Structure 1
Amino acid sequence: MAAITIDSLRKEYGDTVAVDGLSLSVDAGEVFGFLGPNGAGKSTTIDALLGHVRPTAGSVTVLGRDATTESRAVRESVGVLPDGYALYDRLTAREHVAMARSFRDADDDPDAVLARVGLADAADRRAGGFSTGMAQRLALGMALVDDPDVLVFDEPSAGLDPTGIADLRRIVAAAAERGATVFFSSHDLAQVEAVCDRVAIVDDGRLVAVDSVAGLRERAGALATLSVAADPLPDPASFLGIDGVRDAAVDGDRLLCRCVNAEAKVRALRAVFDSGVRVTDVDTDDASLEDLFAAALGDDDGDAVEAVPRGGSVATDGREPASPTAPEGVR
């Protein structure tokens, strides 16, 4: 079942088209990455999803509710960590969570919420003295109040240290395990790759690609390299008949096999061990999401990479202006 459905969404600001015909479907329980350069249409799409802007055409539904005509109900069912939120300097962390609890008519224990995001020891501190990372943790905790079925995270790792990022990953995984949907927009592509089931890449208001990271890698023809140090080195020619191995060669004291996917790497490595040589080191090098992102945006013909059946593709000109209804505060 789809938790979020975006159908032919179009948004115009005067003569500028920010989003034109965007179609996406995000399953319940899915962690979905939403990526694109600045001005690609991401913020406008998220604003439409939350009912903050009215589409020029098309529709957005969240948990079966129309985000335009039932915007209040949508916002009450969605936990949001916005980019560029503001906290109240004079309120303590506990008071912020209590405020979020009152908005949702929830009965969460504020101290338990703060413990989830690593702020148990700062419950009585005023937010005006928080570091950027602490403020981000507090905003995350407010989004988690009442365990909403849909979470929208916009740049959630901003300001977080490595411990905070690890906590964020744990929180996202726990949300998905209980069946919640996470819509995850970020420029930190390493974090997106670590947590997302699928990703969509948008540019100039259009969908460029949507698939799993592995699917994007395969569609782009981005080969993975298996590097093996062994004594003696096996004959590279013996690996050319292995399904999924594109080529093999010796480079110094290592055998290098370029493979189309992870399964081909496993087959090649198994062949190395079966040859009876003594393996001293194994390494792999896959195309990262950063590489795939750059490749998708560098598509000279402008055609969208074919989407998996749950998504869609659009084409448009024009860039997204600053949203006139950008969210203020934590909602």
Structure 2
Amino acid sequence: MTTRAPEDVIVVDALRKVYDEKEAVAGITFSVRRGEVFGLLGPNGSGKTTALETIVGLRRPTSGTVTVLGVDPARDRRRITERVAVQPQAAALFPTLTVRETIQLFASFYGARQDPEAIIEEVGLQDEARARVKNLSGGQERRLLIGIALVGKPEILVLDEPSAGLDPASRRNLWSIIERQRERGTSVLLSTHHMDEATQVCDRLAILVHGSIAVEGEPDALIRQYSATATVSFTLPPTTTGIDINALGLTGDITTTETYGGTRVAVVTDDADAVLRRLTFTPGLHAFDYAVKHGSLEDVFLDAADRKPTESTNVMP
């Protein structure tokens, strides 16, 4: 059983959800702290959306418990809807209302709310404020959904694939929105398929595989754990003679590829700095076009996705 800390606003303890004998979520346990951005990652069908829907009270657990702001979200729906906002992957909006009218409508549902004009500006829809919902692009509608979620000043913001359909500039704007919410003390729980997004915005994350948490921890800590090695690449010009790469004393696995510009060398090593020093101080080497590639969250994700259901790794902050 997980222990609830005073700053935890979401506590998920041994959550299971079964549909017609199919286990969508298989006993997951994690918590989200106040003012934290927590990411749920995983392949399609891993249970992310089911977990989110249970956390916001749209579904009841088959077993286990979910506590949000100290209450059961499925039993105390009114309190949850007043304090928790959800931006789903898709929603049915009024197609003939304008963007401004839509934000104003949803703002009217809350006692404490943000200025609709400020929300329109925050999600970058100033130029579309008079446009009707039915005429919005997919990315614009996605931004409108985020604005609807923000207008009620939520304590917890739940985002399900928030950047789907957004262009690169809009994604960057979304990340800025999430960062501002964190600065205001809002907790953000999001699911995403974008590894750069998870690395950029998440304080902690969990990767779901087959309905179970395969990996959990801070993005940087996870990357360090799964990136014990780095690849140092460089090119030797065609004029280089008398150099035996294998005799340089480089620590790691070495591969060479002949290219138009010379010989491309890649060294997979657990000490990239030592390799670079050796290369730098070898007389007559004349190497150029150096590159050092470390692992990424995508490597962690792919490793976790290939893992068997019983395997898991937790990296605590």
TM-score bin (small chain):
0.7 to 0.9
Report deviation, 1:57.
1.6
User: Is it true that 1:290 corresponds to 2:307 in the alignment?
Assistant: no
Q: What pairs up with 1:1-331 in 2 under 5 angstroms?
A: 1-220=7-226, 223-228=229-234, 237=248, 240=251, 246-247=252-253, 253=263, 256-260=266-270, 264-265=271-272, 269=276, 280-300=288-308, 302-309=309-316
- Match for 2:297: what amino acid? L
- Match for 2:314: what amino acid? A
Secondary structure in 1 aligned to 2:154?
coil
C-alpha deviations, 1:70-104, integer Å up to 9, x for none?
23212221221101212211111111111221222
- Match for 1:22: what amino acid? I
Equivalent residues of 1:227, 1:255 under 8 A apart: yes
Report deviation, 1:69.
2.8
Secondary structure in 2 aligned to 1:51?
coil
TM-score, with length taken from structure 2: 0.82
C-alpha deviations, 1:179-233, integer Å up to 9, x for none?
3222121223332233223321212222222123343344446632233458999
Equivalent residues of 2:85, 2:150 under 8 A apart: yes
Secondary structure in 2 aligned to 1:104?
coil
**Mean alpha-carbon deviation: is it higher for 195-204 or for 86-95?**
195-204
Equivalent residues of 1:234, 1:275 under 8 A apart: no
- Match for 2:311: what amino acid? A
Secondary structure in 1 aligned to 2:313?
coil
Aligned length: 301
Secondary structure in 1 aligned to 2:193?
coil
Which ranges of structure 2 fall in alignment gaps of 5 or more residues?
Answer: 1-6
Secondary structure in 1 aligned to 2:109?
helix
- Match for 1:6: what amino acid? V
2: CA distance, partners of 1:179 / 1:192: 19
TM-score, with length taken from structure 1: 0.78
- Structure index of larger Rg: 2
2: CA distance, partners of 1:124 / 1:101: 17
Which ranges of structure 1 fall in alignment gaps of 5 or more residues?
Answer: 241-245, 311-331
2: CA distance, partners of 1:189 / 1:172: 16
Change (3 A) 1:171 1:279: farther
Change (3 A) 1:254 1:91: same
Change (3 A) 1:130 1:282: same
Change (3 A) 1:197 1:269: farther
- Match for 1:181: what amino acid? S
2: CA distance, partners of 1:30 / 1:268: 39
Secondary structure in 2 aligned to 1:172?
helix
2: CA distance, partners of 1:66 / 1:275: 66
